[in-house]
Amino acid sequence: MGLRRSLAMLVLVLLLYFEWFPHAKAQSSATNGSSRSARDLDALLQDYAYMALMRPVTGKIYDGTVPSNLTGINIAALRLRSGSLRRRGVDKYKEFNIPMGLIETPYVVRLVLVYQNLGNWSRTYYQTQLPNYTFLAPVLGLLAYDGTDLSATNLHELNIIASGDPISIKFDGVRQAPDGAVARCVLFDLQGSFNFSNVTEGNTCSTSQQGHFSIVTESIGPSPSPAPGPGAPVVPPAPSERAEKKSSRKVGIIVGSVLGGLALLVLLSLLVLWVQKFKKKKRRQQMEREAEVGEALHMAPIGDTKAPAASGTRTQPALEHEYAP
């Protein structure tokens, strides 16, 4: 009885742990961009964009819904035939204008163009790549995926190239650049690099490939602090609060994982012991049943005790012939 109670308590603790730990980890990752990379965000948004394609009509734009902890990000999905996309293009897909001649590799019969508008999350995920620049517009994303299986998750992006005219991006609500600063288009490709190009018509950028795009301007940094005197000691900079929080969060995740693994190991050990005891008990019960069903032996008194004794001879011996030789 004590073993069963301990086993039940361990199962309850493990269920609570595995229910709480992934949720807490996802919540902390979603509220802090430094703990989730931009590529992880792309995979997550692809999953949620595909959820909007329940029974899609080819060429129709479907707006998706993001989790509540990523409020401010807008996503959409557009499913197309590859041949139709190459011959006709897409006149207007949100802020994107896709011309004819778009080629994807590897080739697929149907593809899905996932649209992203990171809104107020733009700096969270992309400011670290451009630390000396100010974003004048939100980061927009255009990524292509295989559209054969709409229930698939964590798909790899297709490689799309505009073989003719470039894809144009017309940003809405672009902020004015400071006096003396020049606004520039920036492309963040899927390999982690970025490239600058000129802004046209005040709010339009162009590209020949997929990725993430925005309009930025170089920040005017504060004047440098004076150098310390020759006799002044050099004080190393203190670690930032974000770095400390990130480090403590990593430690918590590691400790939680170790504790969860140990608890799971203990549970498995108890299950093995319980199975062994259960098998022994079943075997003992079977042997007792077989003993009860078997033929009972005659008990005969021998001194002060009783012992099993064989019954008398069942068949009496008889001579085969009446006359002996």
pLDDT at 26 over 50: no
Specify whether 60 is located in the same domain as 2.
Answer: no
In angstroms, the Cα distances linking 267 to 13, 88, 217, 323 are 10, 60, 57, 82
Domain final position from 201, 219, 237: 219
Residue 134 lies in a domain: yes
What pLDDT, on a 0 to 100 scale, did the predictor assign at position 316? 61
Specify whether 99 is located in the same domain as 195.
Answer: yes
Beta strands in the chain (DSSP E): 61-63, 74-81, 90-93, 96-98, 102-105, 110-117, 133-135, 140-146, 159-162, 167-170, 183-188, 194-198, 204-207, 211-218, 298-302, 305-309
- The rounded distance, in Å, linking the Cα atoms of 142 and 194 is 15
Specify whether 22 is located in the same domain as 62.
Answer: no
Domain of residue 2 covers 1-30+249-283
What pLDDT digit, counting tens, does each position of 142-174 carry? 999 999 999 888 899 999 999 999 999 999 989
Q: Which residues contact 317 (CB under 8 A, 6 or more apart)?
A: none
CA atoms in the 13 A half-sphere facing the CB of 154 = 1
Residue 304 lies in a domain: no
Residue 203 lies in a domain: yes
- 44: pLDDT confidence band, cut at 50, 70 and 90? very high
Specify whether 14 is located in the same domain as 68.
Answer: no
**What letter represents residue 174's amino acid?**
V
- The rounded distance, in Å, linking the Cα atoms of 33 and 211 is 18
Q: Is-contact 50 152, C-beta < 8 A?
A: yes
What pLDDT, on a 0 to 100 scale, did the predictor assign at position 84? 93
pLDDT at 322 over 60: no
- The rounded distance, in Å, linking the Cα atoms of 186 and 135 is 10
Specify whether 13 is located in the same domain as 40.
Answer: no
Specify whether 119 is located in the same domain as 146.
Answer: yes
The two structure tokens encoding residue 53: 């394609």
pLDDT at 194 over 50: yes
What pLDDT digit, counting tens, does each position of 91-129 carry? 999 999 999 999 999 999 999 999 999 999 999 999 999
Find out whether the peptide bond into 106 is cis, omega within 30 degrees of 0.
yes
The two structure tokens encoding residue 4: 């069963």
User: Out of 48-52, 80-84, 178-182, which region has the weakest mean confidence (pLDDT)?
Assistant: 178-182
Domain final position from 198, 219, 240: 219
Helix (H, G, I), strand (E, B) or coil at 198: strand
Q: Is-contact 191 124, C-beta < 8 A?
A: no
What pLDDT, on a 0 to 100 scale, did the predictor assign at position 268? 85
Q: How many domains, in total, are found in the chain? A: 2
Specify whether 19 is located in the same domain as 43.
Answer: no
In angstroms, the Cα distances linking 111 to 60, 78, 80, 94 are 13, 8, 6, 17
Largest Cα span, the chain: 145
Question: Looking at per-residue confidence, does 280 or 73 come out higher?
Answer: 73
Specify whether 157 is located in the same domain as 253.
Answer: no
Q: Is-contact 28 248, C-beta < 8 A?
A: no
What pLDDT digit, counting tens, does each position of 235-269 carry? 444 444 455 555 667 777 887 787 888 888 888 88
Residue 290 lies in a domain: no
- Mean pLDDT for 180-196 is 93
What pLDDT, on a 0 to 100 scale, did the predictor assign at position 88? 93
Of 18, 40, 20, nearest to 29 (Cα)?
40
What pLDDT, on a 0 to 100 scale, did the predictor assign at position 234? 41
Of 11, 16, 161, nearest to 86 (Cα)?
161
What pLDDT, on a 0 to 100 scale, did the predictor assign at position 266? 84
Specify whether 93 is located in the same domain as 176.
Answer: yes
- The rounded distance, in Å, linking the Cα atoms of 139 and 119 is 7
Residue 67 lies in a domain: yes
What pLDDT, on a 0 to 100 scale, did the predictor assign at position 41? 95
Specify whether 159 is located in the same domain as 210.
Answer: yes
Of 70, 192, 171, 45, nearest to 120 (Cα)?
70
Specify whether 23 is located in the same domain as 99.
Answer: no
- Mean pLDDT for 26-36 is 41
- Mean pLDDT for 36-49 is 91
Burial (CB < 10 A; 0-12, 13-18, 19+), residue 123, is middle
Average pLDDT, the chain: 80
Phi, psi of 165 (to 5 degrees): -70, 150
What pLDDT, on a 0 to 100 scale, did the predictor assign at position 257? 82
What pLDDT, on a 0 to 100 scale, did the predictor assign at position 272? 84
- The rounded distance, in Å, linking the Cα atoms of 177 and 136 is 7
Listing DSSP states for 38-78 in one string gives: HHHHHHHHHHHHHHT-SSPPTT-EEE----GGGTT-EEEEE
Q: What is the CATH number of the domain that holds 104?
A: 2.60.220.50
Residue 113 lies in a domain: yes
Domain final position from 202, 219, 236: 219
Residue 58 lies in a domain: yes
Which range is most confident: 187-201, 229-243, 274-288? 187-201
Specify whether 16 is located in the same domain as 146.
Answer: no
Q: Is-contact 270 5, C-beta < 8 A?
A: no
